[in-house]
Amino acid sequence: MTEIKPSAALTFVLHTIVIQILAAATVVLGWQAFPNLSVLTLLSCAVAYAVTALLRMPPSWRLCNTMLPLAAAVSLAVELPSWVFMTAFIGMVAIYAPALWTRVPYYPTHRAAYALILAELPTDRPFVFLDIGCGFGDLLFFLQSRRPLGTFIGYEIGVLPWIWGTIRAKLLRRSSISIRFQDMWRASLTEYDFVYTFLSPAAMARMWDKVSHEMRPGSTFMTNTFPVPAPADETVAIRDPRNSKLYIHRMGREQAANTAAILATTLPKTGRLG
Ligand SMILES: C[S@@+](CC[C@H](N)C(=O)[O-])C[C@H]1O[C@@H](n2cnc3c(N)ncnc32)[C@H](O)[C@@H]1O
């Protein structure tokens, strides 16, 4: 198994704290020379952006850091009630907290990939599809409405996405969708015909180890954007703004030896889902 290294997300959080201290210092020190809050706010945004660029932070963290001084200034000027901040903070924690230890933050699959994933799923027979780290479950809802013979499972450990996905499935009466509060590393993949992931580079070596030991011959593993350390059987271009790729692995005989032992112990107990 791959060793889990200190979280990149934690590093970004620490960088963010330092950047915001620098941005605040810009306003405090600048106030002595030029007491104009609007100008100083814009200057602190520029300082925050410059440091994120210097640290080569990803675009989402650059945007977040650049906007934070502005958001702070606006919130002070408008005097929003404190519960607004508390609610926003709790919401963010409920979505993103797992990224601190898993190194896999939430960001959704681009809609351009949906049709490519759908094309892999059969129309004439039951099957079981798993989205590992399914977020709010949008992909599962899209696929389920177009493949009525399928059973669609999502694993998620973000509290808000899991609650929202579960409520949505109940409200829309989609009984063939099940979103489970489940750590992906603690669940077996032997039951699934199709497994889809959109995770992060940090998780892929360990994921391939798991997939190649647990998935049955004849099943299909798909990974969006982040390849595993094995050549894919098919690589499909996703027409999204990042020109991502969908890597498709058709699990074959070389995995059979690994999965046979696992199947022998798990299938009599659990059976297939669909
Ligand atoms: C990049 S998002 C992908 C969301 C969804 N699959 C999609 O494509 O729209 C990755 C998700 O995996 C979840 N995740 C990370 N580590 C996990 C784990 N150990 N078990 C289950 N879910 C996990 C994160 O909370 C996040 O929602």
Q: What's the 3-state SS for 78-111?
A: HCCCHHHHHHHHHHHHHHHCCHHHHCCCCCCCCH
Mind listing the pLDDT tens digit for each residue in 61-95? 888 999 999 888 887 788 778 888 789 889 988 89
Mind listing the pLDDT tens digit for each residue in 168-210? 999 999 999 999 999 999 999 999 999 999 999 989 999 999 9
Can you tell me the distance from the alpha carbon of 141 to that of 176, in angstroms, rounded to the nearest whole number?
Answer: 10
Mind listing the domains of the chain with CATH numbers? Answer: 8-80 (no CATH), 111-269 (3.40.50.150)
Reported as a pLDDT band with limits 50, 70 and 90, residue 10 is confident
| 3-state class (DSSP) for residue 202 | helix
Distance 32 CA to ligand 1 centre (A): 47
Contacts of 49 (CB under 8 A, 6+ apart): 62, 65, 66
Decide: 109 in ligand 1 pocket, CB within 6 A.
yes
What integer pLDDT is reported at residue 34 of this predicted model?
A: 84
Atom 12 of ligand 1, residue of closest alpha carbon: 133
Atom 8 of ligand 1, residue of closest alpha carbon: 109
Mind listing the pLDDT tens digit for each residue in 221-235? 999 999 999 999 999
> How much is the average pLDDT of 17-41?
90
Distance 174 CA to ligand 1 centre (A): 21
Can you tell me the distance from the alpha carbon of 246 to that of 222, in angstroms, rounded to the nearest whole number?
Answer: 7
Assess contact for 194 and 121: CB atoms under 8 A: yes
- Mean pLDDT for the chain? 88
Reported as a pLDDT band with limits 50, 70 and 90, residue 6 is very low
